[in-house]
Structure 1
């Protein structure tokens, strides 16, 4: 069996780690596996870049090559307007649709997906098909799904809600996606659109799905419940839950004191960690709540350190609170799995204050490394954490503050939650989750 995984890029964010883990397990199980990405950063021979740029017109390629060459000089205020003008000159119809408020599906390399890797696929597994953060603000033409689903078994893994909304990747409580979107309350929710064409975009997606046949994989029961109420059911043969998994050979408890020394973190402090790409600017990650927690705890307790892994491009340290020995460390995002494991192991608490989470890898990884996971009651997080048993669930910072205060004062409770968190993480071994994917693929292939 030949398996393709389609994803935005081959870097180590949460959405990229899952395909990487699955690829390794597919190979171990005797399958041929390839990854097709919008942007390739590694030299791995099994990863292929979708030829969107190469598939554009000669005129567009020349102009867009110029735009890329000068983009580093357009960082001044208003420089983005020059970049947009150059893109308009390259592809006027494409840019006009974007300016009118449509999502950008003009990625012609998508239609060559069967000609990229050495072997034709039996299975195509898609992840995060918007890829809005990429240089080209996307990578996949959703209109190609009917074409793809006629030539291979198509699986869609839902890392967010984008496939069934009028534009946003998480609706943050809005339920207009159930009735066709339109009158969007927040056009700036990523992937943002210029004008409110959310109803038209929703209809375009619905019509695509009606012409397609596919299987949907959800990382949580919460996401499955949404998918079953959405336009995805128009073409879905089956919607199934397979929880995300983690590599327990990497993520396991390490010597805390040793790791603090290696990472240049205080040995005698209680350490609170949060992690993610672009923490300060990412709307979903709730970094402002993490800072709010740091302030109120630092006014009551001494020797607390709060670490934002992904909050800065360079290391920055600030004093915080009224009590002595309290600091915030703003650190660069870390892509190396072993280093991330070391930060988890060095921490007493891992805080995930996100406003949206389909199913949090970082919560699982932190549990596996012996840090107490504190997760907001959103999305699939309550499917991982049992409150005050193997972690901490909270609705707001005040509730989290009260629970952490209790745990800080009761060492026996802290140790119990920590040990049960480590044990809980073992239920989500990527090896077992990959087997669930394989079993799904095989059951479909036999039909």
Structure 2
């Protein structure tokens, strides 16, 4: 099986999308597939990855002009050279990951999927909206976009070209050979409601290396990080920890909501806890939160992240929009219970009374209640942590993810159409492939 993954980056540089792509690629190779990555940026020396071909002289002025008029995703005309790349020529199947923000001209999809099946992994909503990766409360993507209320939501556009983009995407998909994969039941439901509903939509959750992300001795982990052994440790991780953002809906990962929740914590609990953070720009929160903060900065090492999760008593994710929640899966695999909001794909991982506490969206008081409940109940934390670890091993290993994708690819290459998965809301945790 020869598989090509196409996306923004091979590992780093695009948050969870790059990490999830590289992990899947590596797991496929371990499963015996000849997997390769072709990306706009390259952050590793891995010989199974390569940068996309570029027409730099022609594209630079075109990209500048396109950005000014809100047509950024048309500018990467060198996309059409991908068919001449050895990675593409050798591939049986092409899988697309996070191709927006000038990575790929989506107008090339009919050409790229004409001779071999294409699989599009829904790391966000961009594939079926007029421009945004997360639509929040807006549902205009179901009817054609236009008159966009949030032009500054990433990826931003300078002018309201959302209806044009929506129509062109619809036109493009009518001429493409695609199968859609969603990492969460929620994302699968959104895809089926969208213009992508014309294609088979499958649910294959992301996986995690449970040999790396596993429960480690908390005392040893705290000692390694310099954390006090007698404090309760609350952990928060995101690429961007800043409390303000130019995004039209505030901070996507909810650092501002977490701050509100933490400021209102009981004084007694504050006095016996520490906040452990991973990500960029955590200095502002450290100054305002009113409790000791240890910020590890942006962490690349999976082993160091596993140490951090294992050192924590509770992991909190105050996210406003989430297609899946990779940090939640990592926490769960390390046996650390979670508190998060009932948004997007989060409920697949944070299951009330099983792996953590689900708060109502945007409700900092409810988020605080979950934090207090878990930090003050040692037995509950232990039970939720053990159940989370068991669930990660049962449903979310990288080996399972790789074999589910390879099974899908085999069906496509044999000319079979696998049945689209059930969207039974009562059992969102079930693996569908």
Do the two structures share a fold, i.e. TM-score over 0.5? yes
Q: Deviation string for 1:59-79 (max 9, x for gaps)?
A: x58xxxxxxxxxxxxxxxxxx
* Corresponding residue number in structure 1 for 2:425: none
Once the two structures are superposed, the pairs formed by residues 40-119 of structure 1 within 5 Å of their partners are: 40-52=42-54, 55-57=55-57, 60=58, 91=61, 93-117=62-86
Question: Partners of 1:124 and 1:379 in 2: how far apart?
Answer: 26
List alignment gaps of at least 5 residues for structure 1: 62-89, 133-137
Instruction: Provide closer, same or farther for how the CA distance between residues 95 and 315 of structure 1 changes in structure 2, counting only shifts above 3 A.
Output: closer
Query: Aligned with 1:104: secondary structure?
Result: helix
Corresponding residue for residue 400 of structure 1: 367
Matches within 5 A, 1:187-206: 187-206=151-170
CA distance in 2, matches of 1:166, 1:316: 34
Change (3 A) 1:320 1:298: farther
Whole-angstrom distance in 1 between the partners of 2:52 and 2:366: 46
Correspondence list, 1:19-34, <5 A? 19-34=21-36
* Residue 408 of structure 1: how far off its partner (Å): 3.0
Structure 1 pair 400–386 and aligned structure 2 pair: CA distance change class (3 A): same
What is the CA–CA distance in structure 2 between the aligned matches of 1:204 and 1:424, rounded to whole Å? 41
The farther-off stretch of 154-163 and 356-365 is 356-365
For residues 105-151 of structure 1, give each alpha carbon's deviation from its aligned partner in whole angstroms, at most 9, with x where no partner exists: 21133212233335521100110111x3xxxxx22111100001102
Deviation (angstroms), 1:286: 0.5
Match of 1:436 in 2: 404
Aligned pair count reads 402
Tell me which residue corresponds to 1:345: 310
Where does 1:18-417 land on structure 2 (aligned, <5 Å)?
18-52=20-54, 55-57=55-57, 60=58, 91=61, 93-117=62-86, 120-130=90-100, 132=101, 138-234=102-198, 236=199, 238-280=200-242, 283-297=251-265, 299-301=267-269, 302-312=271-281, 318=287, 320-321=289-290, 326-395=291-360, 396-417=363-384
Distance 1:298 1:102, change over 3 A: farther
More displaced 10-residue stretch of structure 1: 161-170 or 270-279: 270-279
Q: Secondary structure at the match of 1:385?
A: coil
Contact 1:253 1:370 in 2 (8 A): yes
Q: Over aligned residues, Cα RMSD in angstroms? A: 2.0
Shift of 1:98: 2.4
Structure 1, 304-313 or 222-231: larger mean CA deviation: 304-313
* Shift of residue 370, structure 1, vs aligned partner: 1.9
Q: Deviations over 1:189-247 (max 9, x none)?
A: 0001111111111111111111111100011111111111111234x2x1111011111
Q: Give the greater-gyration-radius structure (CA).
A: 1
Distance between the aligned counterparts of 1:273 and 1:443, measured in 2? 41
Aligned partners of 2:86, 2:230: CA distance in 1, in Å?
Answer: 52
Return 406-415 or 198-207, whichever deviates more: 406-415
Contact 2:339 2:370 in 1 (8 A): no
1:4-19 alignment runs, 5 A limit: 4-12=4-12, 13-19=15-21
Alpha-carbon distance in 2 for matches of 1:260, 1:319: 24
**Deviations 1:72-93 (Å, cap 9, x if unpaired)?**
xxxxxxxxxxxxxxxxxx51x5
Q: Where does structure 1 differ by over 6 angstroms across 4 or more consecutive aligned residues?
A: 313-316
